[in-house]
Chains A and B, each alone.
Chain A
């Protein structure tokens, strides 16, 4: 679903655009002018709307609060299940460096995301306001940093499926400074005795399922994206895969 709308957005991309850029430009201009004037507020006494002007923001006349502590993005977590239900799936991804004799790549950031048992993705917070105590807005999305062996481990649920796509997990690998190294997807083995068959598409069943051979992403070959999946519906499943990226 997500990919579809992404592709669609590529197509309709050229319309409506100048307006957006204009709006953006305008916003910046406003911000620049007002921030320079906010420092010299006419009344002078306690203008405190501090922006990033830096030179003359009024310091609160109060005991300095606790200093902020480093807080990673809330994507950074190993268990990405949140409130989703399904068969437990442990995802073990090993990243190695194709530019370094396939040696393990440590310190790489690995984002994964996939759909829930019903085939739905979480939203990224949407366009409205967020409540400070919000949770589960980005279910089944997570980030981990590879260890010395190039390994990241996530706890999740076995993904469901949706029309037009084989079951898959999205992966985006970055170096430690956030530069993209690889965007790819993990495919699942099919056939008798596989996890895919055991899960049987959850409540949906497998009628209308798109198998890897007919999948628009995997059909051109997916041997390097095919994971190994062991386990059963009682104990859960374990997915392992090695991905080579140029770092």
Chain B
């Protein structure tokens, strides 16, 4: 019998000035305000305004990722544990997550247009059954899936391999 492949999918969602969806815009604005506020704890007494300058000159500024995160938590919670954007081949969102990571890509205390963040969503463990074309055939990795359940049947989804979607971990289970 083939060992079972259990994977975690990571979707890195980039949000910047051009955000169009309501959720994306709110995350953009909220994370920018928080960046601006928190970054001034580091920039005080300096002339630095960009995230890159702050990192370059004050390595402690790396903490800004964690400091800005509480500004998006409420929005992430509003997703109710289903990843945005990523659809199965029927056009529905289905990937569940409990963990996320906010990352500041670029920003500037005096220029909102420079602000760009990424939110990485980490899926719950999934079984990767097969690959069909550029689609992965996956199902939730539930404890009962490990048992030879009803006819060994699993509810599956096809998800296309696409930019910003990564298999972030792989585990073989016998």
Q: Which chain B residue lies CB-closest to A170? A: B41
Known: A129-B101, A130-B99, A133-B98. A68 touches B23 (CB 8 A): yes
A126 at the interface (CB under 8 A from B): yes
Q: Which chain A residue lies CB-closest to B117? A: A52
A21-B62 Cα distance, complex, nearest whole Å:
12
B residues less than 8 Å from A125 (CB atoms): 65-67, 69-70
A residues less than 8 Å from B173 (CB atoms): none
A14-B120 Cα distance, complex, nearest whole Å:
30
Determine the main DSSP class of B at the interface with A.
Answer: mixed
A residues less than 8 Å from B30 (CB atoms): 71-73
Choose from B11, B26, B37 the contact partner of A70 (Cβ within 8 Å).
B26
Q: How far is the CB of A214 from chain B (nearest CB, A)?
A: 24
B residues at A contact (CB < 8 Å): 11, 13-24, 26, 30, 33-34, 36-37, 40-41, 44, 51-52, 55-60, 62-63, 65-67, 69-71, 73-78, 81, 84-87, 89-93, 97-102, 105-106, 116, 118, 120, 122, 133-134, 160, 162-165
23 chain-A/chain-B pairs, Cβ below 8 angstroms: A9-B59, A16-B59, A21-B56, A28-B105, A31-B116, A37-B163, A53-B18, A60-B92, A67-B22, A69-B78, A73-B71, A73-B74, A74-B71, A74-B73, A75-B70, A124-B63, A125-B65, A125-B66, A127-B62, A172-B40, A174-B37, A179-B40, A183-B41
